[in-house]
Structure 1
């Protein structure tokens, strides 16, 4: 059965963009995959050679890598859950009518507009135990980044400060396309605000929630710059994540084989998560 002409036109329109993206990403991905199947240590030229799946076996059998994967997954689940909840609350507030709403909406976007490196350096300065603003406000000289849990809390706060506005703006866009008539009908039927939120707002907001959830989950899973600036993976290696291990393997250890294996596993994990979210969303729409 031939496709309608509108479908063919759609494919033709997106074809140039797809070709450009493939030309930019296909070679690096293929080259990285090839490196992951070889022994490539730049400081040891004699190490070059085909390794098959040895890099992957060494990686998956390393207890330290299992710890990195566990802490990255835990950070992703906790940070994304909190950011989605806070972002939803901010979006609900910004959706209401009040004086100066436009100014507040613009102000909320400021953290998102600040470059991540600048934001991380600012937070590191504020967390300084001697001269930091937080130590001055609380009256204690706490080395916030010297402890494992306090360092993770600092990372989560710094990351959330920048990314919650992104979640809020996406959800605000979703709220604005919900017809107001359905809320009027719900009030006529005697539905309260809490009931309308659970039965109307959340179900109708699912497309925006899914977009924000996919973007934030993948971003949290691949977090690097905030950790690199704030803690450098420390104290010790307790705040190292998958992206940090990839950077260390490539640029510190000069092990392109091991680094390639880590990055390929990260790519596979990202695709699995995105696919799971998309499938869950489609099933939810069919059931609805």
Structure 2
């Protein structure tokens, strides 16, 4: 009897699995054209930039004394940025003289990382607070959500100009503070001006992603915590934070990657010069291209791509930024769940 039941269960399972395989084939057939288009649109520029990074720029040939185009350069473009290695007109390789873009590379890297760390940390705190306020049930919740998202909806160029007027010597910021701070010329004041503008602009984006995670938490969990007598702080640290962590890490991932390629805000607010106190590595790429050095600019773009890829890999692999939308199940828990399901199936077959 049990053998017959098992056979019928196996046939039903086979009937259920056959349509799933057919559906999977249809899904792959529908997705493949889009993947091909993405591979061409995204993959070709990346491969082209990598290929150009190994070609030399137009330069003076020390043997003939005339300018020559291109040619295989190996790792020279990468060493130009990383080690500040330049070739003199006589053919001698040495340290780059002051004024060459390569001398601004490491200061730009430090400034970019400084902007990334400070802005993301501030946006985590402020975004969490704003998300908790927007998630709290109230009559004006819809109005609060709409008002909070206004800074994020404003174009970055408009935001930069707005804050540039506010940080002017006779602007509203100095008037409110009663000070005469040179926000656009003093190095540290200019950096904090960019940080303030960036936090004002992008905190609503962080709050929106965190709010999506908060709305996924069941109300039953909070009701059980209130019944058990948990305080507000205990509820926040032991229920809200652990359950909203996947959405929070995704928000941190997106903002970190966006901050690493910051360009327009410091350029419009402060200066587009490569030796500006707020110059980022993206500014060096644009400045190098304006000078006609497309191959060395491609090498710097490749370095930025590797930096962003490394940060994304570390955050997804080790810090729990699950971009798939669900927290990864521990391997032991998954094994126990599979064994439990197998035992239930065997019990049902008997």
What do the CA deviations read for 1:89-123 (whole angstroms, capped 9, x no partner)?
11011111223111110011111110000110110
- The C-alpha deviation readout for 1:172-208, integer Å capped at 9, x for no partner, is 1110111010111111122211111111111111221
Residues 1:88 and 2:125 aligned together? no
3-state SS in 1 of match to 2:68 = helix
Matched, 1:257 2:295: yes
Larger radius of gyration: 2
Cα deviation for residue 236 of structure 1 reads 4.3
- Higher deviation after alignment, 231-240 or 83-92: 231-240
Measured in 2, the distance between the counterparts of 1:241 and 1:92 equals 33
Structure 1: tracts of 5 or more residues without a match? none
TM-superposition CA deviations, 1:226-277 (whole Å, max 9, x none) = 01101115694321111111111112x2211211111001111111111111
Q: 2:231 aligned with 1:214, yes or no?
A: no
* Residue aligning to 1:36: 53
Give the one of 78, 82, 88 matched to 1:56: 78
Cα displacement string for residues 52-80 of structure 1 (whole angstroms, at most 9, x for unaligned residues): 11111121113642222122112211111
- 1:195 equivalent to 2:217? Answer no
Gaps of 5+ in 2: 1-17, 61-65, 85-102, 334-350
Residue from 78, 87, 99 that aligns with 2:118? 78
More helix by share: 1
Provide closer, same or farther for how the CA distance between residues 214 and 129 of structure 1 changes in structure 2, counting only shifts above 3 A.
same
Cα distance change of structure 1 residues 250 and 70 upon mapping to structure 2, 3 Å threshold:
same
Residue among 297, 304, 327 paired with 1:266: 304
- 1:242 correspondence with 2:264: no
Give yes or no for contact 1:147–1:235 (8 Å, CA) kept in 2: no
Q: Which residue of 2 aligns with 1:108?
A: 148
Q: What CA distance in whole angstroms lies between the structure 2 residues aligned with 1:28 and 1:68?
A: 24
Aligned-partner SS, 2:39: helix
User: TM-score, normalised on structure 2?
Assistant: 0.76
Q: Offset of 1:6 from its aligned partner?
A: 4.5
